[in-house]
Amino acid sequence: MKHIPMMLVAALIALTPALARADAAFDRWLAAQWPAAQAMGISRATFERETRGLEPDLSLPDLALPGKPKAPDRQAEFVQTPATYVSDKAIGTYAARGRALAKQYGPQLAALEKRFGVPGPILLAIWARETSYGGAKLDRDALRVLATQAYVGRRKDEFRAEFLAALKILDEGHISRAQMKSSWAGAMGLTQFLPTGYLEYGVDLDGDGTANIWTDVPEALAATASLLKEKGWQAGKRWAYEITVPSGFDCTLAEPETRLSIGDWLKRGVRIADGRRVPPSALKDEASIIMPAGPFGPAFMTPANYFVLKSYNFADLYVLYVGHLADRIEDDRPFAQGWKDIALVKTADLEFMQKVLTHQGYYTDKVDGKAGMKTRAALGAYQKVNGLALDCWPDAAVLAHMRKGG
């Protein structure tokens, strides 16, 4: 048997008390959750069974660990270009599968639309985006993930509520602990619900006392439809229209707070680009304009249902993906205007731009290094004042102007 080097033994001895202290602190934190669990009606037997031997998973991303810098954002919506995220090849593949699933679950999807007002293709597109129609590997212990995030995550209070809700789900017998798997962020099931969302929006279609979002496709889609209806989904209305904007269009108007009726946008020279007809009943509906890649890709007129989809995932690219995939399931046509090649601006450079824009009064949102619509509108305002080409895009010319103190 080989000897363990003495330096390694010394290191392990030195580390053991720190690990013991960490475990003891976590155990104390767990024990302190009992009063809140009891107030929710969770039995003592369930609490003790599910928390016995529970340990934090410090390998999870996005934890606030002492001495460890914040990891880069992992969400594809924030680190990929629109052309990469809304990949035509991937959309086409998912659309073909979606059409087959639309036939397979036709009666159930029709019943869900009648009950909740949400079209089947929208529900199928969310299922595709969230778990690749159930093909994504969700292999983490959901309770452990949620306990870890509540203990050392960056949103402790939010995840404490999710941890308690997960205990409630287990206490009510909706699923076993062994089956309650999740993503690294704690979302569960075919269409990815956090525990509080499951308890609020889960739908028991077959009367067995459980909303089975894990293996029952209609019930998973029903939970999604229930959420969207509660958030204000308007039955019979579109999520968005692809458009072209007139020459000289002021790109600072392409942000969510600028709303006009669809009819007024059309009067200003906006045109529907994808061949769809706006019904007369929709002309008075308010809508915003978004340009996800600025002048380098398609533009969209976004009525209320677009923003309802953002309640599922706040990223605009996510909504664009889901909405476009839903359209392709119904009618397999690509965008009228394609995406041009663009490079993502370095996070540090975008943070610098946001700080300049904040200092000069153009920008009041958070400095996060992401070129969201509010950032791009602020860049457009800066370009106007400084006589730069107006495209609301964080390009090298704007960055150089700002670095010169412009």
* CATH number for domain 86-131+235-339, candidates 3.30.1360.20, 3.40.50.300, 1.10.530.10, 3.60.21.10: 1.10.530.10
- Residue 234 pLDDT: 98
Task: Determine the number of helices (DSSP H) and then strands (DSSP E) in the chain.
Answer: 18, 7
Is 74's pLDDT higher than 90? no
Which range, of 123-132, 185-194, 363-372, averages the lowest pLDDT?
363-372
Is 3's pLDDT higher than 80? no
- Residue 18 pLDDT: 46
Is 70's pLDDT higher than 80? no
* 3-class SS shares of the chain: helix, strand, coil, % to 5: 50, 5, 45
The pTM of this model reads: 0.89
Q: Where are the beta strands (DSSP E) in 187-285?
A: 241-244, 260-261, 271-272
Q: Identify the band that residue 226 occupies on the pLDDT scale cut at 50, 70 and 90.
A: very high
Q: Identify the band that residue 68 occupies on the pLDDT scale cut at 50, 70 and 90.
A: low
Residues 6+ positions from 78 with CB-CB distance below 8 Å: 315, 370
Tokens of 220: 């998973």
Rounded distance between C-alpha atoms, residue 394 and residue 403, angstroms: 13
Rounded distance between C-alpha atoms, residue 299 and residue 321, angstroms: 14
Tell me the per-residue pLDDT of 153-203, one tens digit each, with 9 for 90 and over: 999 999 999 999 999 999 999 999 999 999 999 999 999 999 999 999 999
- Residue 405 pLDDT: 83
Rounded distance between C-alpha atoms, residue 152 and residue 63, angstroms: 6
- Residue 299 pLDDT: 96
Q: Identify the band that residue 82 occupies on the pLDDT scale cut at 50, 70 and 90.
A: confident
Of the candidates 2, 146, 121, 135, the residue with the CA atom closest to the CA atom of residue 60: 146
Rounded distance between C-alpha atoms, residue 231 and residue 67, angstroms: 40
Tokens of 128: 């595709």
Tell me the per-residue pLDDT of 11-58, one tens digit each, with 9 for 90 and over: 434 444 444 455 899 999 999 999 999 999 999 999 999 999 999 999
- Residue 44 pLDDT: 98
Tell me the per-residue pLDDT of 294-352, one tens digit each, with 9 for 90 and over: 889 999 999 999 999 999 998 999 999 999 999 999 999 999 999 988 877 889 999 99
Give the Cβ contact number of residue 194 at 10 Å.
23
Residues listed for the chain: 406
- The domain segmentation of the chain, as residue ranges, is 86-131+235-339, 347-403
Is 79's pLDDT higher than 70? no
Is 120's pLDDT higher than 80? yes
Q: Identify the band that residue 65 occupies on the pLDDT scale cut at 50, 70 and 90.
A: confident
Is 150's pLDDT higher than 90? yes
Contact 310, 244 (CB under 8 A): no
- Residue 80 pLDDT: 73
Coil/strand/helix, residue 333: coil
Tokens of 77: 């919506």
Residues 6+ positions from 277 with CB-CB distance below 8 Å: none
